[in-house]
């Protein structure tokens, strides 16, 4: 631990690198006694090397959107902020690949790519604030994962700074690569416990020529009806980019219709999108209301969607939790139905959506602290009974100590610990932020 007074040492060591000292107490924790903002990979490397030699703990930060995601250490010795480590390293439009510095905000990158009719095929929450490094470290994904895959399917190369300051590259700049172990996979979703991502290389997709969203509201329908409709969609010829079910509370907020709603989106050439919309219209049961949003309206809907979760980096006072839950695809419906009941019994509000082709649900829970914790426990029990899991993507620091962020350990825990031990012997990086106390 940094003892008081050694801060001047740090300043001397990191001459020229921006260093901030401010009140480290923050409701979401994951702070540092001192915040260091490197601008180059070399600076990241020298900071880590110094921290490793002196056994100082380091918490890694980007845009701050995931500050409430894991972590039982309120204040580390150093908060390494990548907010000033930004920019595009290489964009090759012909090869459709892009290399960027990890602190670059997602939306900045998409804006750069748009004139080329290209995009990173990921759809994270809070795209204007979330950095590409944070999105990949936390493996954040949105509804379009059904059509485009997740970070693990789109990242083709990483430059990692290891805790000892050494630079390790994984993958490369080509879209197909089996040379050696697929180390990219190890670092994606590792919550910064194995190294600091310096640069990310991704494969890009063309921006579709046309897009639309169908919002199908089911008035008073039993979930069996919704489930049967979803199965029909999945077994049909349509190729949706997302297929989400949205709970009434969230649907009310997003569409002003307080009913279970299916969100089906398409991206393709115009003729194909319209054809698929027609197929869906003929497939849906009577009494459903179908609203179609295309192009500009669709964009604006998505923008609202990616901001519906608690604005964790602007409003940190409320007791709100966000869960990510994984179950077998169609069990999403059972899970969300159960969550509605849990919301009522625990006196909390629950807004949730889940992908019927991916099994990934996101759930925002709001209420009194004790009630939020009970609801989390019950939702997790339901997920586990369905053969899945629930992890806590966001929760204030004081409650994280009481709730188990990652759930129970699995039989693979000893392998996780072995990997962590090989790479970060001194345990300096994001200590206790990941599964089983890693």
Partner 1 sequence: MAVLKINTTDKHIINLANIVDGPRTILYKKADLLAYDCDGFTIHKHLPKAVVFPKSTEEVSKLVKYCSDNGLPFLARGAGTGLSGGAIPINGEVIISMVRMKKLISIDLANRRAVVEPGFVNLKLTNSISDKGYYYAPDPSSQYCCTIGGNVAENAGGAHCLKYGVTTNHILGLEVVLPNGEIVEIGRNGVLDEPGYDLLGLITGSEGTLGIVTKITVRILKNPEGKQTVLAYFDKVEDGSQAVSDIISAGIVPAALEMMDKIAIEAVEAAAFPVGHPKDIEAVLLIEVDGIAAGIEEQVNQILEVCRKRNVREVRAAKDEAERERWWANRKTGFGAMGAISPDYLVQDGVIPRSKLPEVLSKISQISKVSGLRIANIFHAGDGNLHPLVLFDARKPGEIDKALEAGSACLKACADVGGTITGEHGVGIEKREEMRFVFKDEEIRAQTNIREVFNPNNLLNAGKLFPTPGRCVEIKKELKSLS
* Residue 89 CB-density burial (10 A; 0-12 exposed, 13-18 middle, 19+ buried): middle
CB of 382 vs partner 1, minimal distance in Å: 14
Structure tokens, 276: 């698929």
The residue whose two tokens read 């190890």 is 186
Which tokens is 412 given? 């693979």
Considering beta carbons, is residue 77 or 268 the nearer one to partner 1? 268
- Residue 64: left (phi > 0), alpha (psi -120 to 50), or beta? left
* Beta-sheet strand order (sheet of 155-161): 88-92, 97-101, 196-203, 155-161, 167-171
Distance in angstroms (rounded) separating the CA atoms of residues 30 and 72: 8
Binding-site member from 9, 25, 93, 370 for partner 1 (CB under 8 A): 93
C-beta of residue 172 within 8 angstroms of C-beta of residue 90: no
- The answer to whether 222 and 268 have CB atoms below 8 angstroms apart is no
3-state SS class at 146 = helix
User: Which of the ranges 60-68, 71-79, 101-109, 232-240 carries the binding residues for partner 1, by CB under 8 A?
Assistant: 232-240
Q: Does 313 bind partner 1 (CB under 8 A)?
A: no
- Binding-site string for partner 1 from residue 208 to residue 227, where x marks contact by CB under 8 A and - marks none: xx------------------
CB nearer partner 1, residue 36 or residue 376:
376
Q: Report the site for partner 1 in 161-180 (rule: CB under 8 A).
A: 162, 166, 168-170, 172-180
Q: Stretches 45-53, 245-253, 339-347, 405-413: which one binds partner 1 (CB under 8 A)?
A: 405-413
Which residues inside 111-150 make contact with partner 1, applying CB under 8 A? Answer: 117, 139, 149-150
Please pick, from the candidates 41, 49, 128, 153, the single residue that binds partner 1 as defined by CB under 8 A.
153
Among 143, 367, 388, 396, binds partner 1 (CB under 8 A): 388
CA nearest neighbour of 212 among 125, 118, 280? 280
| Of 20-28, 32-40, 203-211, 253-261: span binding partner 1 (CB under 8 A) | 203-211
Kindly state the DSSP code that residue 62 receives in the 8-state scheme: S
The site map against partner 1 for 323-342 (x = CB under 8 A) is -x-xxxxx------------
By CB under 8 A, tell whether 234 contacts partner 1. Answer: yes
| Minimum distance from residue 151 beta carbon to partner 1 (Å) | 10
Q: Which residues, 251 to 310, sit near partner 1 by CB under 8 A?
A: 268-269, 271-272, 274-276
Question: Which positions from 47 through 86 interact with partner 1, judged by CB under 8 A?
Answer: none
Cα–Cα distance, 425 to 107 (Å, whole number):
35
């Amino acid at each position: 631990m940094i003892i008081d007074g050694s801060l001047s040492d740090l300043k001397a060591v990191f001459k020229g690198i921006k260093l901030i000292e401010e009140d480290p107490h923050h409701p979401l924790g994951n702070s540092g006694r001192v915040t260091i903002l490197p601008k180059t990979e070399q600076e990241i490397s020298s900071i880590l090397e110094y921290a490793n030699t002196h056994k100082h703990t380091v918490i890694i930060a980007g845009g701050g959107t995931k500050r409430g995601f894991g972590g039982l250490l309120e204040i580390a010795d150093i908060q390494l902020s990548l907010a000033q480590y930004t920019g595009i390293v290489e964009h090759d439009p012909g090869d459709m690949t892009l290399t960027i510095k990890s602190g670059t905000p997602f939306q900045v990158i998409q804006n750069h790519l748009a004139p080329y009719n290209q995009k990173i095929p990921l759809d994270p929450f809070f795209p204007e604030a979330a950095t590409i490094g944070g999105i990949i470290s936390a493996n954040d994904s949105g509804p379009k994962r059904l059509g485009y895959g997740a970070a693990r399917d789109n990242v083709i190369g990483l430059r990692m700074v290891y805790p000892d300051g050494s630079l390790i590259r994984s993958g490369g700049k080509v879209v197909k690569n089996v040379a050696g172990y697929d180390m990219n996979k190890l670092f994606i979703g590792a919550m910064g416990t194995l190294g600091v991502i310096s640069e990310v290389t991704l494969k890009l997709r063309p921006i579709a020529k046309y897009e639309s969203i169908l919002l199908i509201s089911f008035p008073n329908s039993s979930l069996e009806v919704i489930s049967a409709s979803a199965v029909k969609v999945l077994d049909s010829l349509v190729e949706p980019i997302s297929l989400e079910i949205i709970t009434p509370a969230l649907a009310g907020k997003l569409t002003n219709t307080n009913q279970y709603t299916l969100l089906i989106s398409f991206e393709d050439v115009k003729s194909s999108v319209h054809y698929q919309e027609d197929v869906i219209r003929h497939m849906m049961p009577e009494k459903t209301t179908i609203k179609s949003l295309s192009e500009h309206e669709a964009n604006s809907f998505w923008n609202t969607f990616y901001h519906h979760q608690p604005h964790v980096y602007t409003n940190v006072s409320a007791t709100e939790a966000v869960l990510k839950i994984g179950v077998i695809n169609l069990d999403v419906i059972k899970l969300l139905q159960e969550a509605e009941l849990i919301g009522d019994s625990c006196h909390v509000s629950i807004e949730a959506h889940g992908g019927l082709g991916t099994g990934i649900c996101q759930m925002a829970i709001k209420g009194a602290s004790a009630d939020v914790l009970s609801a989390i426990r019950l939702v997790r029990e339901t997920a586990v009974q369905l053969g899945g899991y629930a992890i806590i993507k966001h929760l204030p620091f004081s409650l994280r100590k009481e709730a188990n962020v990652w759930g129970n350990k699995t039989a693979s825990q000893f392998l996780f610990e072995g990997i962590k031990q090989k790479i970060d012997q001194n345990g300096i990086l994001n200590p206790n932020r990941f599964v089983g106390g890693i």
